[in-house]
């Protein structure tokens, strides 16, 4: 029996568990932490009525990864439809997530969390090169990630006519993001960089976000921006666009643009768009 196989892989803390739960709710048979070398046998043994299968493969079973290129090639040659979703995120977000959940990174030894993340990136590089989609979950909420996964996997079948938006923060000092469709400059807002207590933080921190979003000029800007976007986006969709990137920039890309992108995304999500948030320059030093 030919099956739809989704391989969920990538870095620890980047959203693989959220993806697995989303696909399980969508009717996939999901198995976690399957050694890749067992994947072919697993497909042979699963019930013939199981048409949609998802497996989570990651560094927890790194010694069993084997020759992933050859193995996946064999499975595809048998007629199975295979998608490899590789999840990753910035070091900043990964460290923050492990700190907030008090989970232990599976590769952490005496050297600490950052070296473990770096080692995991190396271990998983082979699977990353085979990815059908590389999904950067930096700055994404669980709800946004879930919606993005379902849109990618189920496609037009369940998301017909939906416009997929990427809201990207960036710093002008690092250059305009390639591929941006709409660019908005928020450097007119007061800069948290000049507040000593806020300077080392980012727009993902509550104190910085509150500083930026509570400014009267921001509140007026947001209303005008929403009006413009809610006018433009349906018309872009009517013209056949299926994806669009909205870039929000400040000086360094760590404070104002991050806070604004995070605040804008839920408004777009609430209007029925699929939204992914990405913070390009959040780890590039102080703005």
Q: What are 56-74's pLDDT values in tens digits? A: 988 766 555 556 777 888 8
Is the separation of the CB atoms in 267 and 277 below 8 Å? no
pLDDT, tens only, 76-124: 888 888 889 999 999 888 888 877 766 767 666 656 788 888 888 888 8
Q: What is the pLDDT of residue 101?
A: 64
Q: What is the DSSP letter of 255?
A: S
- Percent residues over pLDDT 90 in the chain: 38
**Residue 120: closest CA among 57, 78, 76:** 57
Decide if pLDDT at 168 tops 90.
yes
Q: What is the pTM of this model?
A: 0.53
Q: What is the DSSP letter of 189?
A: S
Interacting residues of 31 by C-beta distance below 8 A, sequence separation 6+: 42, 53, 54, 55, 56
Decide if pLDDT at 157 tops 50.
no
Band (287; pLDDT cuts 50, 70, 90): very low
**b/e per residue 33-50 (b: at least 16 CB within 10 A):** ebbbebbeeebeeeeeee
Residues 220, 204: Cα–Cα separation, whole Å: 21
Q: How confident is the model over 258-275, as a mean pLDDT?
A: 87
Decide if pLDDT at 228 tops 60.
yes
pLDDT, tens only, 115-149: 888 888 888 888 888 888 889 999 888 878 887 88
Q: How confident is the model over 193-198, as a mean pLDDT?
A: 94
Band (272; pLDDT cuts 50, 70, 90): confident
pLDDT, the chain, mean: 84
Residues 63, 61: Cα–Cα separation, whole Å: 6
Task: Give me the residue label for tokens 């643009």.
Answer: 257
Q: What is the pLDDT of residue 109?
A: 63
pLDDT, tens only, 4-53: 889 999 998 889 999 998 888 778 889 888 777 788 787 877 655 567 88
Q: How confident is the model over 266-273, as a mean pLDDT?
A: 82
Q: How confident is the model over 228-245, as a mean pLDDT?
A: 87
Which domains, from first to last, does the chain contain?
A: 4-159 (3.40.50.300), 164-279 (no CATH)
Is the separation of the CB atoms in 165 and 273 below 8 Å? yes
Beta strands in the chain (DSSP E): 4-10, 29-31, 52-57, 81-88, 133-136, 164-171, 182-185, 243-250, 274-279
Identify the three-state secondary structure at position 248. strand
Q: How is the beta sheet containing 133-136 ordered, strand by strand?
A: 29-31, 52-57, 4-10, 81-88, 133-136
Decide if pLDDT at 182 tops 80.
yes
Is the separation of the CB atoms in 11 and 86 below 8 Å? no
Band (262; pLDDT cuts 50, 70, 90): very high
Band (250; pLDDT cuts 50, 70, 90): very high
Is the separation of the CB atoms in 5 and 115 below 8 Å? no
């Amino acid at each position: 029996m030919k099956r739809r196989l989704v391989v969920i892989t990538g870095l620890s803390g980047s959203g693989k568990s959220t993806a697995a739960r989303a696909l399980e709710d969508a009717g996939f048979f999901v198995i976690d932490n399957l050694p890749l070398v067992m994947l072919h046998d697993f497909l042979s043994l699963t019930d013939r009525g199981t048409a949609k299968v998802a497996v989570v493969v990651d560094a927890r079973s790194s010694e069993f990864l084997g020759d992933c290129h050859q193995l996946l090639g064999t499975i595809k040659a048998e007629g199975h439809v295979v998608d490899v979703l590789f999840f990753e995120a910035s070091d900043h977000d990964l460290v923050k997530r492990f700190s907030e959940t008090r989970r232990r990174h599976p590769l952490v030894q005496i050297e600490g969390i950052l070296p473990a993340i770096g080692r995991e990136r190396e271990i998983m590089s082979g699977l990353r090169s085979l990815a059908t989609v590389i999904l950067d979950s930096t700055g994404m909420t669980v709800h946004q990630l879930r919606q993005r996964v379902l849109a990618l996997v189920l496609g037009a079948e369940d998301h017909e006519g939906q416009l997929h938006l990427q809201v990207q923060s960036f710093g002008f000092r690092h250059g305009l993001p390639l591929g941006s469709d709409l660019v908005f400059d928020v450097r007119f807002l007061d800069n948290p960089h000049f507040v000593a207590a806020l300077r080392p933080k980012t727009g993902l921190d509550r104190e910085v976000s509150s500083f930026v979003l509570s400014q009267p000029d921001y509140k007026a800007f947001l209303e005008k921006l929403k009006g413009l976007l809610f006018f433009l986006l349906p018309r872009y969709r009517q013209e056949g666009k299926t994806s669009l990137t909205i870039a929000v920039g400040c000086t360094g890309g760590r404070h104002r643009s991050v806070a604004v992108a995070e605040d804008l995304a839920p408004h777009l999500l609430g209007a029925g768009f699929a939204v992914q948030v990405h913070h390009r320059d959040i780890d590039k030093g102080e703005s």
